[in-house]
A and B are shown apart, each in its own frame.
Chain A
Amino acid sequence: MDKEKSTKELTDIIARFVSLVGKKLPDDVWAKLNELRSLETDPLPKTVYDTMFKNQELAFELDRPSCQDTGVLQFLVKCGDSFPLLGRMEQILTEAVIRSTRDAPLRHNSVETFDEYNTGKNVGKGTPTLFWEIVPDSDALELDVYMAGGGCTLPGKAMVLMPGEGYEGVVRFVLDVMTSYGLNACPPLLVGVGVATSVETAALLSKKALFRPLGSHNPNERAAKLEKLLEDGINKIGLGPQGFSGKKSVMGVHVENTARHPSTIGVAVNTGCWSHRHGNILFKGDLSYTVMSHKGVVL
């Protein structure tokens, strides 16, 4: 296939995938929400869950974005070093967002800073956001698509602790976000935690943590233990759906980590809302693709 033709084809597929992500939650989130809903016994949280489920059914049936905040589009691009369109990914993703914004339709959520005007296209300088990972000896592309809402994941929080504060300090930091900002971020939340060496490395990891499938664990045993402790602990706080209080608070807690400087512990938290509009799609070098996050859908 010539490059122009394949550029057009990839743009087309991604535009349709972005639109789908705004209308239908991924399978893992849907299953988890079903589980959390079934645990509630009081009328208030039950009614709230009922409305959330009805909303998702209506959104799909009427072909409309399920939440009015369709966010800023953020992509994790895990690109093989010999994927034929590697150099064009930014152009392709930007064009795909413009198209989906028109077709879905998505809200215009791109305001140029300093000049302070809405571009009216849902893209601007540096938006959509691209996070890159280059995969050696591969001609494939794995793409995570995320609609990052202004009331949940975009705010986030990061800081650098002194080593003396230890992992106890990390726990304190995460829990404090839960009962302040997290409360308004539309629980049940998916909590991404980054533990690294600086604010920006921790912050990036806390975002990437949200792209992991629900139910997955950090390969490091202690990090996985912290995930479990935090998940159970935050659940005990009982934020319930939308912070109205209930049996649980979170869909999951994902911790991602790197090494650190001996003098620092960077920590960051990112709160994904219940309407976790995330998609994962795999492309081979010939652009044949498999949607991993939403089984059985046709784009």
Chain B
Amino acid sequence: MNEKKILTTPVNAEDIAGFKAGDIFYLNGYIVTCRDVAHRRLVEEKRPLPVDIRNGAIYHAGPIIRPLGNDKFEMVSIGATTSMRMEKFEYEFVKQTGVRILVGKGGMGEGTRKACMEFKALHVVYPAGCAVCAATQVEEIEQAEWRDLGMPETLWVCRIKEFGPLVVSIDTYGNNLFEQNKVIFNQRKEEVYSDIARQVSFIK
């Protein structure tokens, strides 16, 4: 494998121009957790995000945090949550915030694909079920906003070091890895079905 690719926030459009669906990279700099309610507040209630994420990264995740006192926090566990739940807001969200990298779990849909092409952003996936691994790549939680939303929904501003692997699921050229895979999987499934069906005529 070639060398580890590392991006550092702020990330501009040229920095990600070389990335295609299926590529892997790691992220330095900052990432902000941002999920259901934060998306809703921005898009539906038109409240500006309390953190500037232009050219930055968000993480669809609800972490487990341990308060250390003195407004300091430790990241215990931070696993990606299903990105698809944010699909309905994501086009508007990317448009308004200028965010460059969306990290989550599983694929996203047409709106996000469109946003990624138009505004030059990437949707990437952190391997799911690897919450401890991700937590150890958070060096420090520097800020916490919208705390009224509770631990999972608060915007946690995390300073990160080689955060990843991040697998590009939607690139700036309109490729959607999960959608493309689905087509292949479904084709293979039909072959598999005909093959097995011939061998299970147990009811005669």
Contacts and interface: CB of A to CB of B under 8 A. Distances in A.
A284 interface: no
A178 to B, nearest CB: 7
Interface string B161-204: 00001010000000001100110111011011101110111110
B202 A222 contact: yes
B22 A44 contact: yes
Interface string B113-143: 0000000000001011111110110000000
Interface residues of B, number: 46
Nearest to B187: A237
Given A66-B131, A186-B128, A43 B1 contact: yes
Nearest to B202: A167
B111 to A, nearest CB: 18
Contacts, number: 138
Contacts of A184: 82, 84, 105-106
A80 interface: no
Interface in B1-29: 1, 22, 24
B49 to A, nearest CB: 23
* Chain A interface residue bracket vs B: 35 or more
Contacts of A275: 129
A135 B165 CA distance: 48
Interface stretch (A50-58, A200-208, A210-218, A286-294): A50-58
Interface of B: 1, 22, 24, 62-64, 76-79, 82, 84, 105-106, 125, 127-133, 135-136, 165, 167, 177-178, 181-182, 184-186, 188-189, 191-193, 195-197, 199-203
Given A52-B127, A68-B77, 13 more contacts: A47-B1, A48-B165, A54-B130, A55-B130, A66-B132, A67-B128, A68-B63, A105-B64, A151-B82, A167-B202, A184-B82, A230-B196, A237-B189
